[in-house]
Amino acid sequence: MKQAKLTFAREFQIGEIDPRIYGSFLEHLGRAIYGGIYEPGHPTADANGFRRDVLDLIAQLNVPMVRYPGGNFVSGCNWEDGVGPREARPKKLELAWQATESNQFGTNEFMDWCRAANTEPMMAVNLGLRGAEEARNLLEYCNHPGGSYWSDLRRAHGWEKPHGVKLWCLGNEMDGPWQIGAKTVQEYTRLATETAKVMKWTDPSIELVVCGSSHAGMPTFGEWELSALEATWDNVDYISLHQYFGKGESDSANFLAKSVFFDHYIESVAGLCRYIKSKRRSKHSVYLSVDEWNVWHHSGAPNLPGWQEAPSQGEDIYNFEDALLVGLMLITLLKHSDSVKVACLAQLVNVIAPILTETGGKAWVQPTFYPYLHVSNYGKGKALMPVMDSPLHDTKEFTDVPDVDSAAVWDEETAELTIFAVNRNQTEEIALDVKLLDFTALQPTEHLVMAGFDLAQTHSKDAQPVKPISTPLPQLENNQASVLLKPLSWNVLRFRGSAK
């Protein structure tokens, strides 16, 4: 049997975990909104048309923040079309996803939905076809208490109190040729600088996210980040990263190693932030917003159905193998909690999502639901700096991939220690020897594990077999324990006690 060793101390910390790294994303794409979270007439719908069965599943995930309204959608969106009396709202051809947008669900409905879901909004502004004036107007509409044109319009629409949106994205994937109103880095940085300036003048309390490259494979990557950071540094708080992984021609070993690339990508952008901070001799810091990340491959690119309303698009059916990679990506985010302060699993319902719905019928969870559930609920507090000694293996694309990848979190308030671990080894159990250096009186709580499933096992509305089970953990002896990690397994090791 192979062995791995994990050693850490409460005093050696990566950083405080910002709860917003467990955020998610809802875009006007496919059935994410219409038929997903919003379906008037559904048997569970409340007075606002919000599906209660979906809200109940989201409540389990404890999602702290949701990004809206896009995504590619935002670059062609006129936010004014989605406010005011519903009967007066126009239907528009939505170019990003080749659908018809009814605008029956807009800014105010989203804010009400966030309150119902006990989550905070993260808004994106249109810097594709529109610009600084429209972004400033939307901010005034949402956040100003009253006594101005746009804030009084919100009040006239029935929302007396301001929405108080704190986090705003300055456009979306602006270097992508697929983006409506795509821009060169010079065009974007000029517009983003001026937009950031007037938005901060309108509400100095907000935080802003400047667009990085659409992904690390873009020819613009690196130079785009440096230019955007240099131009907007004093007015922004975060830079965006987007990362999706598909299996493609990979075998399972290579697919599960793709979180190694994710780790390198995050570290690269964090390094660029450190470089600009040093170059500018600045006391200000810009952190990372990984505001789109997930596995996305089964459905490929969303089909373009030709101007239907809320067609089925991008509805990936996830399997157990995908759940393992989602868990590995969550572990990667935790290991970079000193630089990653915002992250959004894209998306939340129906479109590449952990939750699926049937229009007029059931809602159910996919296998990827569970790693997200575990980390969002138990990954609170401070990420610890581990010393990991694991067997290694090579894959088609990656060398020295650890069989076991892991992150540990200490919650001072509840005196809970949680270790998240994935055994990538396809055939062998691994004995993980855990050594805790400066903890006292810790008692094992449980070992949550998902293992033993066929990698291709999926869920349907009638059967959801891929679920975690709770098993006992061995007692600690001299602050050490050995825990068996099954082949191809997701593991959550939970302890409770006190510290010195």
End-to-end CA distance of the chain: 34
CB 265, CB 242: distance < 8 Å = no
Q: Is 173 a catalytic residue?
A: yes
Fill in the amino acid letter for 2.
Answer: K
Catalytic residue among 80, 101, 134, 292: 292
d(CA 311, CA 286): 38
Catalytic residue among 173, 225, 321, 416: 173
CB 81, CB 57: distance < 8 Å = no
d(CA 322, CA 159): 41
* DSSP-derived 3-state class of residue 301: coil
* Phi, psi of 213, deg, nearest 5: -60, 155
Which CA distances in Å does 204 have to 122, 155, 164, 198, 455? 16, 22, 12, 10, 49
Q: Is 194 a catalytic residue?
A: no
Give me the numbers of helices (H) and strands (E) for the chain, helices first please: 10, 25
d(CA 270, CA 494): 30
Segment (H or E) for 324: helix 320-335
* Of 271, 267, 347, 350, residue with least CA distance to 311: 350
By annotation, the residues acting in catalysis are 173, 292
